[in-house]
Every structure is written in C-alpha cells, then in structure tokens.
Amino acid sequence: MLKIIENIDNNELISPELSQKLATLIVDENYDYSIEEDYYIPDVNYHTANVVEPMKANTLLNKNTSSSFFLESDIFIIPELDD
C-alpha cells in the first residue's frame, strides 16, 4: 500500500454523505466511461519518455537513456545513476 493511503485521516476529508452527493451528480450511471481494451496502456517501463510540452512539440527531444532490467519484480532500477 502506498504511504499516502495509510496516512489519510478520514476526519480531514469531507463527509461521506456530501462526497457521495457530489459524486452522484457528476457521474451518469447509464454511460460507459471505459476505454477500449485494445488501448490499455502498458506499465511505464524504464525510460525517460520522449514526450514534450506542447510548445516544443514539433521537435521531439529524446533523452534516450536505455536501461536493462533486473528480473525480480520487487526491485526497481534507478536510471541515470552510475559511478
């Protein structure tokens, strides 16, 4: 579990009743909000994504830091760090 969730104090949140009331108003329960299955986004892998702010969008700058993987799923590689 992410720390942020553990640390939530429910007393600091607006009440469930009010929150429910607001949430009910913004959602149409007859509408299908899903994104089609084909479009599932892969997990972010170890890349510094080549994406840009809109104003710089016509020249995409690719930082291109390739990393290899460790096999264990509970270990995360820290790119950009070597010495």
Partner 1 sequence: MNLKNEENTVLNYFCYVLINEILPFEAKYISLRKNKNFTFIRQIIQLFLNDILPNANKLVTKETFNDKYLSKIEQTIKVCKAEYLGLLIKYNIKDKDKSYYNNFKKKYLFKRNNKYGIKNELIEEAIIDLENYLDVGNEIIKKNQLNITDIDKHISSDIYKGELELLNQQIKKFHKYYLILERKLYENGFIKKIDENTINPTDKINNLEYLYFVIIHEFWNFLAHFSMGLIYFNTPNNFLSNLHKSISHLKRAVMDLLDGMIIENNCSYLPEYLQLRVLKISSLGNSIKIQELISRLEKVFTKCLQQNQ
Give the CA count within 13 Å in the CB-facing half-sphere of 81: 5
* Shortest CB 5 distance to partner 1, Å: 5
- The pair phi, psi for residue 4, each rounded to 5°, is -55, -35
- Neighbour-count burial for 60-69, b at 16+ CB within 10 Å, e otherwise: eeeeeeeeee
Give yes or no for residue 25 binding partner 1 (CB under 8 A): yes
Q: Site mask, partner 1, residues 39-78, x = CB under 8 A?
A: xxxxxxxxxxxxxxxx--xxxxxxxx--xx-x---xxxxx
Interface residues toward partner 1, by CB under 8 A: 1-6, 8, 10-29, 31, 33-36, 38-54, 57-64, 67-68, 70, 74-83
